[in-house]
Structure 1
Amino acid sequence: MRRAAMVTAVVAIAPLSVLGVALTATSWWEGVTMAAGYLLTLGVLREWNLEGYPRQAIFALMLTVTAWLIGALTAQSPISFVPLSLIGGMLIARMRRSRLWIAAFTVGVGAIGATSFAFHPPSWGLAAAYLLTPIVGTLFVVGVILASEHAWLIARRLDRARETEAELAVARERVRFAGDLHDIQGHSLHVIKLKAALAGRLVHMDPGSAEQELTEIRRLADETISHTRTLAYARHDLSLATELENATRLIEAAGIAVAARFDDDAGATPHPLLAHVLREATTNLLRHARPTTVTITVSPDAVEVTNDGAGTDVDAPLNGLARLRERIEDAGGVLRIERPPGGFRVAARIGPRRDEAAKKSRR
């Protein structure tokens, strides 16, 4: 692509050079000189690469300097500076402090053109042809080449930015997948752990109840496997109503009083992230707190879980809730985690998804 940018610059300048030859040529060899200069330029472009400039560029620069010097000394070719400007512009594009090099190169081209005054009587026409025109023309040629180089650099940076954005999107999706996997398996495994402990206590006192708990453990294991498979192949959206029922049953099974309320709205579907918040909050309070009372309030756009027993593990990491906070904020919602005296509160709010049927009925 960089070579293409240089070719574009050379091709853009070529018509002006041909026009200059047609208007100013006084002998046939001027056209030959210009054609040879362009062939040298194309030869350098053929070897152009990202690791610097090819060795042929220095050789081509020396030849074009010689051609311009001969043209100036003989005062027979006022535009023979163009091949030199092309080669010099290509080299300057690879150098640091390009402005300094542009100034030095332009002065050098003008100095070579000024040698025409050594063998020819000074005149305004001679100064315009071999001093003013080469300086202005060199600035133009080098400017076109540097503009093409700058455009190439911008395009390259845009390509790299797109590649970086694609890599970030993949990384974000992996983090999201890991969070969902944690939500599903972490919660289920904790429930299985509690039920296994309960079954162990009941196995001698109430074998029938112990058998029921073991059956429930098997069901939870199958459900976890199914949800994990669903997560691996498709998006897994939790049901807020189902999660509320599961949370209530699990908290009661742990011997904790729970007050649950679901303010339903038939025209709205709760955002799936609210169900994840309820699941994660339930898992955390069972794992880290020792509450006697839990209050759960659920609506299509909000979830609030409050308990009265923060317990001794107040500094426990809440990585699951932290990941959920990022996802909810990305979706335009808010998640608050508060530690009032002797308690813990998780509150999330995010807009519900309105059903299409409800939208049509309102119309």
Structure 2
Amino acid sequence: MTTEEPIESEDPMTAPMRRQAMVTAVLTIAPLTLLGVALTTQSWWEGLVVGVSFVLVLGVLREWNLDGYPPRSVLAVVGTTMGWIAGALLMTNPLGFFPLALVGALMLARVRRRFLWIVVFALAVTSIGAVAFLFHPLTGERAAIYLLLPFLGVLFVAAVILVSERAWLIGRRFERLKEIETQLVVARERARFVNDLHDIQGQSLHVIKLKSAVAYRMVRDDPERAESELLEIRRLARETISETRAMTFDRYELNLAVEIENAQRLCESAGISVHADVDLSGDAPAPPILAHVLREATTNLLRHARPTVVSIAATATSVEIGNDGVAETDGDPERGLARLRERVGAAGGVMTVMRGPNRFVVRADLAPEQLGEVTS
């Protein structure tokens, strides 16, 4: 009997799914079990045995995950088995099998050929119930209580656990797909940057290479032509450097309205809900520096945070983007904003970064008189 390979390691984002699966299982099984135990328990020590068994069950529930259980979980199996054996031998509480059924179902839910093993487990629990007839005569009523009820009870508990885990697993896979989609969005942006860099440098470098060869051949035969070619090479190199610097530091002009649409599209494709409050009315267009702030903030939240909701507020003189994600510890989401803060300040504006327990906000404000003056 081998455990299924884990789909992926547990993720903090799936913790609510784990809680939901646990609550579903407990609310489905616990009320009937506790009510039955309360109605059938005839002495304090019977209740004590069943209570200890349920404490062991709670220990396994705390370890409930989709990737297996620690070795100490075997103690819960042994303890609940002994409790059911004692209950069957003394023919006291007929529901003493429930703790064992729950522990067994939890541990068998992730093994290969789980349905076969669950049936085998149900038969094993039923066979333990049969020890009641070693010291008591067999009757139809007792057979139903100590044979049929344990068998059906184990199948019921296992069905609840399997359904809960299946919903949990589907949710975890869905979260993983959203994470992959977010990574693809970032990868597309990187590919776009590489393509832009190739477009800027590729042709220029090729022309520089050709003109360098021409200048080399003309150095002795036609010095004036060689000088002309070298001047052209210098001009091309200067333009290429300027264009590369402009792209690297986002100095090419952007349109705020277009960037808002792009940010919404990128976030929604990553499964993130977006709320936008935009008012760009007015004669003068919003300065491109605000679009740069929005683009950098969007890239940061996709790379460094795991938000579920993003809010965008924009006017002709300000832009604000907030999210409820928590930045990961292996990256600094503010590092890419440092240069933008300097540029916003140089343009006569202020850029602020506000970080809270469940909120990360980037905001840039420009003075109204800066409209039409700030171009990068």
Q: Sort the TM-score into its range (normalised by shorter chain).
A: 0.5 to 0.7
What does residue 151 of structure 2 align with? 135
TM-score, length-normalised on structure 2?
Answer: 0.54
What does residue 333 of structure 1 align with? none
The whole-number CA distance in structure 2 between the counterparts of 1:19 and 1:62 is 24
Q: 1:304-315, aligned counterparts within 5 Å?
A: none
Note the C-alpha offset of 1:39.
0.6
What does residue 185 of structure 1 align with? 201
Q: Does residue 109 of the first structure (1) align with residue 134 of the second (2)?
A: no
What does residue 313 of structure 1 align with? none
TM-score, length-normalised on structure 1?
Answer: 0.56
Quick one: which of 53, 71, 82 aligns to 2:69? 53
Larger-Rg structure: 1
Q: 1:187-206, aligned counterparts within 5 Å?
A: 187-199=203-215, 205=222
Q: Does residue 65 of the first structure (1) align with residue 59 of the second (2)?
A: no
What does residue 23 of structure 2 align with? 8
Secondary structure class of the residue paired with 1:226: helix
Answer yes or no: is the 8 Å Cα contact 1:44–1:54 preserved in 2: no
Note the C-alpha offset of 1:170.
3.8
Computed over aligned residues only, the root mean square deviation of the Cα atoms, in angstroms, reads: 3.3
Quick one: which of 99, 104, 121 aligns to 1:83? 99
- After superposition, the C-alpha distances for 1:41-85 in whole angstroms (9 at most, x for unaligned) are 123344567774333322222221221122223322111111111
Q: 1:1-363, aligned counterparts within 5 Å?
A: 1=15, 4=19, 7-8=22-23, 11-12=26-27, 13-46=29-62, 52-199=68-215, 205=222, 207=224, 211-234=227-250
The whole-number CA distance in structure 2 between the counterparts of 1:75 and 1:218 is 99
Q: 1:197 to 1:94 in 2, by over 3 A?
A: closer
The whole-number CA distance in structure 1 between the counterparts of 2:88 and 2:209 is 93
The whole-number CA distance in structure 2 between the counterparts of 1:30 and 1:6 is 30
Note the C-alpha offset of 1:36.
1.3
Note the C-alpha offset of 1:124.
3.2
Answer yes or no: is the 8 Å Cα contact 2:21–2:168 preserved in 1: no
Answer yes or no: is the 8 Å Cα contact 2:91–2:132 preserved in 1: yes
The whole-number CA distance in structure 2 between the counterparts of 1:231 and 1:183 is 11
Secondary structure class of the residue paired with 2:162: helix
Note the C-alpha offset of 1:121.
3.6
The whole-number CA distance in structure 1 between the counterparts of 2:251 and 2:116 is 58
Answer yes or no: is the 8 Å Cα contact 1:106–1:139 preserved in 2: yes
What does residue 287 of structure 1 align with? none
Note the C-alpha offset of 1:27.
3.5
Gaps of 5+ in 2: 1-14, 254-376
The whole-number CA distance in structure 1 between the counterparts of 2:89 and 2:24 is 29
- After superposition, the C-alpha distances for 1:108-154 in whole angstroms (9 at most, x for unaligned) are 11112223334334333222222222111111112222333333333
Answer yes or no: is the 8 Å Cα contact 1:114–1:131 preserved in 2: yes
Residue identity in the other structure for 1:18: L
Secondary structure class of the residue paired with 2:95: coil
Secondary structure class of the residue paired with 1:96: coil
User: Percent identity, aligned pairs only?
Assistant: 53
Gaps of 5+ in 1: 238-363
Note the C-alpha offset of 1:206.
7.6
Q: 1:235 to 1:157 in 2, by over 3 A?
A: farther
- After superposition, the C-alpha distances for 1:227-262 in whole angstroms (9 at most, x for unaligned) are 21233233979xxxxxxxxxxxxxxxxxxxxxxxxx
Residue identity in the other structure for 2:204: S
Q: 1:21 to 1:226 in 2, by over 3 A?
A: same
What does residue 275 of structure 1 align with? none
Tell me how many residue pairs correspond in the alignment: 237
The whole-number CA distance in structure 2 between the counterparts of 1:219 and 1:120 is 104
Note the C-alpha offset of 1:188.
0.3
